Chain A
Amino acid sequence: MYRILTKKILTPSVSLMEIEAPLITRHAKPGQFIMLRVDEDGERLPFTLADIQRDKGTISIIFQVVGASTYLLNQLHPGDELADLVGPLGKPSELDHLDKVLVIGGGLGCAIAYPLVRECFDRQKVVHSIIGFREKAVVFMAEEFSKKSQRSLLLTDDGSLGEKGLVTEALERWLAEGETYDAIYAIGPLQMMKAVADLTRPKGIKTIVSMNPIMVDGTGMCGGCRVQVGGKVKFACVDGPEFDGHEVDFDEAIIRNQMYVQNEKSQYDHVCRLKRNDAK
């Protein structure tokens, strides 16, 4: 059904999986996402497409182990099958009218930022990238970014790899140097996307962010993923996941992401305990 073909460990907690899903590759485009279930009791998890290999009939996702479900997903290996996989969902990135783009990735967001960079690069656009991570141990795909960007910069919060600092600091510097962009994509933690949007808003630079709220079905049915954009309620799954960063109510989105934090923590501990016991 949905067989895992390859798995690459990018960092101790981030993996790339290439999954057989020929039907999905038919219309899938960069910026869209899929939902999958690891097993019959699994929740539906959204993942933005990291790659679409139409000739092979496969798609790739990059995920970080953040809770019980991603922990279980990370337990799977090539040859294993997923219970369910559906997509492509959401709207594709709109790149046609852009000639020069800056892509800013933060942490796991780089998994989604990279396909955008590659897409722009392969379509002969000018693309720059700034990527930021907490520390050296969690850096992934930095080389790919530099290969596919005319200008790129890697930062870590503690300076253990690349330059020390925040992506916003680098952005400010580049803009001060006179760089101009048709659009800036910011993909990463909500706080980072908010900081980028706050910085570009007064300068009037179009800024697009990719929202990753809590979802159940991913098809517009539940409304759990609602975000306020320009004072209007939007469903990230069907109206997004990309929105105008200057219009998104980030503070509200940050609060909404806290809905199940307690629940997720206890479930994660529970699953890890079970797995440890199994191993014994």
Chain B
Amino acid sequence: MNGSLKKTPMPVQDPRDRIHNFQEVALGYNEDQAKVEAERCLQCKTRPCVAGCPVGIQIPDFLAAIIRQDYLAAYRIISRDSLLPAVCGRVCPQETQCEALCVRGKKGEPVGIGYCERFVADWYFQHVSTENTLIQSNHRKVAVVGSGPAGLSCAYDLCLKGYDVEVYEALHLPGGVLAYGIPEFRLPKAIVKREIDRLEQLGVKIHKNVIVGKTLLIDDLFEEGVQAVFLGTGAGLPNFMQIPGEMLNGVYSANEYLTRVNLMKAADKRSATPIFLAKHVAVVGGGNVALDAARSAKRLGAETVTILYRRSMKELPARKEEVDHAVEEGILFRTLTNPIAITGDEKGFVKSVECVKMLLGTIDASGRPRPIPDPNSTHKIDADAVIIAVGTTPNPLIMQTSQLETNRWGCIVTRNDSGLTSRDFVYAGGDVVTGAATVILAMGAGRKAAEAIDKDLCPTQ
């Protein structure tokens, strides 16, 4: 047992260096650090942390395996429930999930579960090249639409159960938000690729460049012998603010900005995809996506990057760790500030953002104080690029051709917790059902749907 009240610190790249590169910020534990941290676990009988994990990883068990230095066993414990430990160890909001319920957190800091998970996953990929998993096929075909966290974890579970799984991805690279959204410095693309490669090794086929709803319809899939379809198509449609000036050159949705940088590698000299190298960047929004865009802009050489957020620092929805990293990197936070217009120069390029200060009112439906504009506080902020990161909604492409019931936010309606949609044998999960949420919640939904599909297709078992 390690009685320290504090987590073993995560080694990080120096902020002065990292603002000039896209390499990973957090460097990961070594064996000693992982062991020391795992020893902080009390191995309590009630296991509140497991209940806090959307996919139910047996956390105390894998921590115990770390202490025994049996990292392969630790990996196998995690991968019983999660396909993507190297991803989740990096981007899960552990502080609101497993770690939020950790008993050690009552006095001091909780066990660094995410850091340990990452260590195990990275160790595995460094030491184990291929593992043969023998799966008995049940000769039933299932199609998974979308290769983001929901689709991948659904495919993984179904594959382990013996299904013949085909994944359809609209873009030229699988991974969904892991590929186009989360930047390299937070989630290296090589890691995403490794986890997806493992899925392909298990026998899952991934068809890139196929848009279900356009290239193929759900009906086509059923005609070709698929017995169930899972839709994990995410929330890819960016919201804009509907304020004047949003059509100016230099106004990006965070999706566009991050896609150019992550998926299209616009920062790489070899890439043909252009990106506007702005000097003064304003980012609207306070979530992880806003921070990802802001920190990417900094790395692309912006002199100032300012987050404009309408509530206060306390309500910022981004992960605390990411906020801390952003502050270290010199990202400026203008809270209680909301843009009301973007102004441009005579050539149609962004020049400044007009903002108002906000006051916080009573608690609203979201459980946070409602921001109220102070009309006498209009002021201008110089900027030559504005990145809008105020959320996304589900991409309507698939709904247009599949007669699925959706709600007023454009999310697919499911009949129950298992993800069954209004159409028999069509299931959905992740952001396309909930609206934009986290990687791990999408993975949890993918798992649940896999279980439901298995129950519906093989009811006797």
Q: Which of B209-217, B297-305, B325-333, B436-444 has 4 or more CB atoms under 8 Å from chain A?
A: B209-217
Question: Residues of A contacting B395 with CB < 8 Å?
Answer: 219-221
In chain B, what residue has the closest Cβ to A238? Answer: B397
Residues of A within 8 Å of B214, CB to CB, are: 27, 87-89
Contact partner, B265, options A26, A41, A259, Cβ 8 Å: A41
B270: nearest chain-A partner, CB-CB: A41
B272 contact from A41, A89, A224, Cβ within 8 A: A41
Q: Is the CB of B217 within 8 A of A27?
A: yes
A86 to B253 Cα, complex, angstroms: 23
Question: Inside 8 A of A42's CB, which chain B residues have their CB?
Answer: 272
Produce 1/0 per residue, B173-209, CB < 8 A to A.
0000000100000000000000000000000000011
Q: Which residue of A lies closest to B171 (CB)?
A: A217
Given contacts A216-B264, A221-B395, contact A26 B215 (CB under 8 A): yes
Contact with A along B211-248 (1 / 0, CB 8 A): 10011110010000000000000001110100000110
Question: A256 to B247, Cβ gap below 8 A?
Answer: yes
Residues of the A chain whose Cβ atoms lie less than 8 Å from the Cβ of B252: 224
B274 close to A221 (CB less than 8 A): no
**CB closest residue in chain A, given B170:** A219
**Please, which residues of chain B bring their CB within 8 A of the CB of A43?**
264, 271-274
Cβ of B319 under 8 Å from chain A: no
By secondary structure, the B interface counts as loop
Contact A88 B215 (CB under 8 A): yes
Whether the pair A219, B397 counts as a contact (CB closer than 8 A) is yes
CB distance from A30 to the nearest CB of B (A): 15
Is the beta-carbon distance between B249 and A259 smaller than 8 angstroms? yes
Within 8 A of B (CB), among A6-38: 23-24, 26-27, 37
* Contact B172–A26 (Cβ < 8 Å): no
Taking a contact as CB atoms under 8 Å apart, the answer to whether A87 and B215 are in contact is yes
**Interface bin, chain B:** 35 or more
Q: Please measure, in the bound complex, the distance between the C-alpha atom of A81 and the C-alpha atom of B56, giving whole angstroms.
A: 45
Closest residue on chain A to residue B266 by CB atoms: A43
Identify B172's interface contact among A37, A238, A260, CB under 8 A.
A37
| Residue of A41, A88, A222 most packed against chain B (CB within 10 A) | A222
Q: Which of B210, B214, B237, B270 has the most CB of A within 10 A?
A: B214
User: Using a CB-CB cutoff of 8 Å, which residues 315-351 of chain B contact chain A?
Assistant: 347-348
- A152 on the interface (CB 8 Å rule)? no
- Please report the number of residue pairs spanning A and B whose Cβ atoms sit closer than 8 angstroms: 119
**A10–B348 CA distance with the chains assembled, in angstroms:** 35
For the complex, give the distance between the alpha carbons of A87 and B212 in Å.
10
Contacting pair B255 A86 (CB below 8 A): no
Whether A255 lies near B272 (C-beta < 8 A) is no
Q: Which of the residues B270, B273, B348 comes within 8 Å of A256, measured between beta carbons?
A: B348
Residue A141 is within 8 A (CB to CB) of chain B in the complex = no
Q: Is the CB of B272 within 8 A of A69?
A: yes
**Distance, CA A87 to CA B210, complexed state (A):** 7
> Judging by beta carbons under 8 Å apart, are B240 and A255 in contact?
no
Q: Verify B210–A222 contact, CB threshold 8 A.
A: no
* A267 close to chain B: CB less than 8 A: yes
A255 touching B237, Cβ below 8 Å: no
Structural contact, A86 and B210, CB atoms closer than 8 A: yes
Judge whether A255 and B264 touch: CB under 8 Å. Answer: no
User: Residue on B with the closest CB to A41?
Assistant: B270
- A68/B272 in contact, CB under 8 A: yes
Q: Mark B252-296, 1 if CB is under 8 A from A, else 0.
A: 110110011000110010111110100000000000000000000
Contact of A86 among B172, B220, B268, B347 (CB under 8 A): B172
List of A residues within 8 angstroms of B48 by Cβ: none
Chain B residues near A93 (CB-CB < 8 A): none
* Interchain CB contact under 8 A, A223 and B247: no
A118 in contact (CB, < 8 A):
no
Asked if B396 is at the interface (CB within 8 A of a chain A CB), the reply is yes
- A53 touches B (CB below 8 Å): no
User: In angstroms, how far is the closest chain B Cβ from the Cβ of A226?
Assistant: 7
In the complex, A85 Cα to B215 Cα: how many Å? 11
Is there contact, CB below 8 Å, between B276 and A84? no
- Tell me the residues in window 8-59 of chain B with beta carbons closer than 8 Å to chain A beta carbons: none
Q: Mark B384-403, 1 if CB is under 8 A from A, else 0.
A: 00000000000111000000
Closest to A256 in B: B249
A228 at interface, CB cutoff 8 A: yes
Give Cα A81 to B190, complex, Å.
25
Beta-carbon contact of B170 and A86 below 8 Å: yes
Measured CA separation A255–B250 after assembly (Å): 11
Contact B215 A221 (CB under 8 A): no
A261 to B246 Cα, complex, angstroms: 20
Residue interface mask A256-276, B partner, CB < 8 A = 1: 101110011001000000000
| Pairwise interchain contact B271-A41, C-beta atoms closer than 8 A | yes
Q: Is A83 an interface residue (CB 8 A)?
A: yes
Task: Please report which residues of chain A, range 210-251, place their CB below 8 angstroms from some CB of chain B when the two chains form the complex.
Answer: 216-217, 219-224, 226, 228, 233, 238
**A26 vs B396: C-alpha distance when bound (angstroms):** 21
Task: Please tell me if the beta carbons of A220 and B396 are within 8 angstroms of each other in the complex.
Answer: yes
Residues of A within 8 A of B208 (CB): 84
Check B238–A222 contact: CB distance below 8 A: yes
Closest residue of chain A to B234 (Cβ to Cβ) is A221
By beta carbon, the residue of chain B nearest A260 is: B274
Note all chain B residues with C-beta closer than 8 A to A87: 211, 214-215
Taking the closest CB of chain A, its distance from the CB of B129, in whole angstroms, is 24
B209 in contact with A85 (CB, 8 Å): yes
What residues of B have a CB within 8 angstroms of the CB of A238 in the complex?
396-397
The residues in B between 142 and 180 inclusive whose CB is less than 8 angstroms from any CB of A are 170-172, 180
- 3 closest pairs, A vs B, by CB? A255-B348, A222-B256, A86-B209
8 contacts between A and B (CB under 8 A): A44-B264, A86-B209, A86-B215, A87-B211, A217-B170, A220-B397, A222-B238, A223-B238
* New A-B contacts (19) at CB < 8 Å, excluding given A86-B170, A224-B252: A23-B215, A27-B214, A41-B268, A41-B271, A42-B272, A43-B272, A43-B274, A84-B209, A86-B172, A87-B215, A220-B395, A222-B253, A222-B260, A224-B253, A233-B240, A238-B397, A255-B347, A259-B249, A267-B274
